[in-house]
Amino acid sequence: MARYDIAIIGTGPGGISAAITARVRNKNIVLLGSRNLSDKLSRAHRIDNYPGLPQISGADFAQALRDQLAGLGIGITEKRVASVYAMGEYFMIQAGEDILEASSVILASGLAAGKTLPGELPLLGRGVSYCATCDARLYRGKTVAVLGYSDEAAAEAEFLSEIVQQVLFFPLGKTEPQERDNLRILREKPEAIEGETTVRGVRTAGGLCEADGVFVLRDSVAPDRLVPGLELTDGHVAVDLEMRTNLPGLFACGDITGKPYQYIKAAGQGNVAALSAVAWLRELQEKKEK
């Protein structure tokens, strides 16, 4: 597998700024995100404090960023990053169905929306799971609930129904699976996950839907779930002035590092993160030569 120098996760102003600097420094990069760049940016009516671009609209700003990427020959790899694993001297990135390798990573994926449900974290690993493909087989012959927030949730529920006895699907996003004998769709709003030592079920206004396991499938995940072992401060990735995180070789920039949630700050941090990644790569290289 080819190993990238730098994997940049996120296509808001932070990630794009990092990509530009990294490319100018001749690094072999992969930029993971969306052709639409960033929902937040495309919805911005007007940006008033970006030096040199007075009162530019979010849409125009996004177009200018796209043009700049194209001019530098930087493509966008449209894959959802599920996990980043710190392997020691490098990183493994689960992106869609693929696994990518990179010597360093810049995390610029923005704010993780969505709060956790009551009971979700205390029961994690005690019936609550975030990974259908990982844990499906532990629920053979049992009943599981799927909280389907993400676009992939419907497909994952169908996959689960091939293994477990009964799937209860709560459609909370845009997609829903085909109903079948052992896959029921429940149009109720989950309020909490209940259980003492293990999951008992999903609490809704209508009562308790009993289940042995609950798969919570969201689009955006908290940063420390995206990158196991990553240190947070108040829900944001903890970084120093060089945009270093607690994991050597992993840097972060933009909204994910905390307030202010501003484009100009994200772009500035993206630049610093890329330069720090370049410095880190040089250190790695020097270590190898010794």
Partner 1 sequence: MIEKIQNNDLHKALESAYAVVDFSAVWCGPCQMLAPVLEEVAAQMPDVAFFQVDTDENMELAVQYGIQSIPTLLLLKNGRPVDRSLGFMPKPKLVSFIESGKNK
| Interaction site with partner 1 (CB under 8 A) | 83, 85-88, 92, 94, 99, 124-129, 131, 133-135, 137-138, 197-198, 213, 228-229, 247
- Helix-strand-coil split of the chain, %, nearest 5: 30, 30, 40
Cα separation, 34 vs 51, in Å, equals 25
**Least distance (Å) from partner 1 to the CB of residue 229?**
4
Smallest gap from residue 129 Cβ to partner 1 (A): 5
Half-sphere exposure of 106 (CA within 13 A, CB side): 43
The least CB distance from residue 137 to partner 1, in Å, is 7
Cβ distance 203 to 115 under 8 Å? no
- Compare residues 72 and 99 and give the one whose CB is closer to partner 1: 99
Beta carbon nearer to partner 1, 83 or 262: 83
* Two tokens, residue 115: 């709060």
Closer CB to partner 1, 82 or 186, in the complex: 82
Cα–Cα distance measured from residue 113 to residue 94, given in angstroms and rounded to the nearest whole number: 20
Q: Determine the residue type at 198.
A: T
- Cβ nearer to partner 1, comparing 14 with 201: 201
What are the C-alpha distances in Å from 211 to residues 11, 128, 165, 204? Answer: 38, 10, 11, 13
Query: Looking at beta carbons only, is 26 or 197 nearer to partner 1?
Result: 197
Which is nearer to partner 1, 179 or 210 (by Cβ)? 210
Of 135 and 176, nearer to partner 1 (C-beta) is 135
Q: Least CB distance from residue 128 to partner 1, whole Å?
A: 8
* Least distance CB 99 / partner 1 (angstroms): 8
Closest approach of partner 1 to the CB of residue 90, in Å: 11
Closest approach, Cβ 208 to partner 1, in A, equals 19
In sequence order, which residues have a C-beta less than 8 Å from that of residue 194 and are 6 or more positions away? 119, 200, 201, 202, 203, 208
> Minimum distance between the CB of residue 139 and partner 1, rounded to whole angstroms?
8
Smaller CB separation from partner 1, 60 or 158? 158
CA dist 250 and 102 (Å) reads 10
**Per DSSP, what are the bridge partners of residue 143?**
166
Distance of CA 77 to the CA centre of its chain: 14
Helices assigned H by DSSP within the chain: 13-24, 39-43, 58-71, 132-135, 153-161, 223-226, 263-289
Cβ atoms within 10 Å of 172's Cβ, excluding its own: 18
- Say if residue 260 is preceded by a cis peptide, omega within 30 of 0: yes
